[in-house]
Structure 1
Amino acid sequence: MTTTATLAADTIRAAAALPLMYGEKLASDITDAQFHLMPHPTMNHPAFCYGHLAVYPNRMLEMLGADAAVPADAAFDALFKAGVTCVPQDGRYPSKEVIMDRFLAGHRAVLEALRAVDDEVLARQNPGEGRLRDMCPTIGAAVNFLMCAHTMVHLGQVSAWRRAVGLPPAM
């Protein structure tokens, strides 16, 4: 890794900073008690959405050759990994503070790591397997997708959830 990012890394950083800011804003007035509410049985609550998004930064950091942002936590990842169904809070989900700290620390660390990533790193084959590699064949494509499109998909769920529980738009 170098000390100067490239146009590609800077472009990803600029685009990824917006979902992070939006994610903070969406969660800012949600109480810990509300964070786990399911106003409809098929609607993911914010705890699940943010917890799911918090699973991916360490994977992205590994792809970028950077240190993990938060300690690995297999139990946390098992609650929120792809394919797991959101359920009403029954004690299994961590608090808003724990989830948001992990989400924010991870995404901020990826933004910081991108400051020092060469194009050569971004052009490498995505080490993931299956659908993610098919959709995003390079590390750059994978990081861009996970930090931007993937994040906004789940933040859109939080935005809809806000309306369902009677909260105003965040922006």
Structure 2
Amino acid sequence: MQVKDAIRSTMNLSDMVFRGYLGDLEDADLMRRPGPGCNHLAWQVGHLVVAEVNMLGGMFPDYTTELPEGFEEVHGKDNASCEDASQFNTLAEYLELMTKVRANTLAALEAMDESKLDDPAPEQMRAFCPTVGDMMILIGMHPMMHAGQIVPVRRESGKPVLF
């Protein structure tokens, strides 16, 4: 396995788990918060989409996904406490956006020379992820960082244990 293969595998596993947890939820479940002080699931999914678009665009502007008008603002930190479901997307819409964004990320990964993984990450991310390779790994594992927050909503809804 080569480095790009390992990154792709990380992305695929993370997607499988995250989408698995979301797969049998209803749109109304997306407005539920896993606990006090936590962001609701709709905001979290939108945050993942925005974050991936911004991280990828900072490294590979040709692979940026255009988001719906206002999407980034709705899923920004200033709107995390919003309880107005009409501002947020349906589960199907979020999954469609996630698919488009991830396709662009995988296309950028496929197109890049592996030596590019050692290049410095965008300046604003270097303290956390010094290289392009670190950024691609973060993109791959970011959904897993949020996946556990879906579990309490699943349990309260009586959904089956998946993993």
- TM tier, smaller: 0.7 to 0.9
The answer for the alignment partner of 2:139 in structure 1 is: 146
Equivalent pairs, count: 162
Instruction: Summarize deviations over 1:59-99 as a string: whole Å, max 9, x none.
Output: 3433145422x314462112223575243234221222222
Does the 8 Å CA contact 1:35/1:47 hold for their aligned counterparts? yes
Unaligned runs of 5+ in 1: 1-5
The answer for the alignment partner of 2:87 in structure 1 is: 92
Q: CA RMSD in A?
A: 2.4
- Alpha-carbon separation, structure 2, partners of 1:22 and 1:91: 27
Kindly indicate whether residue 147 of structure 2 is the aligned counterpart of residue 155 of structure 1.
yes
TM-score, structure 2 length as denominator? 0.83
Alignment of 1:55-66 (within 5 A): 55-62=50-57, 63-64=59-60, 66=62
Q: Percent identity?
A: 26
The answer for the alignment partner of 1:18 in structure 2 is: 13
TM-score, structure 1 length as denominator? 0.80
What is the one-letter code of the residue matched to 1:154? H
Instruction: Summarize deviations over 1:118-143 as a string: whole Å, max 9, x none.
Output: 123221111141xx320101111012
What is the one-letter code of the residue matched to 1:47? A
- Alpha-carbon separation, structure 2, partners of 1:106 and 1:11: 19
Does the 8 Å CA contact 1:38/1:88 hold for their aligned counterparts? no
Unaligned runs of 5+ in 2: none
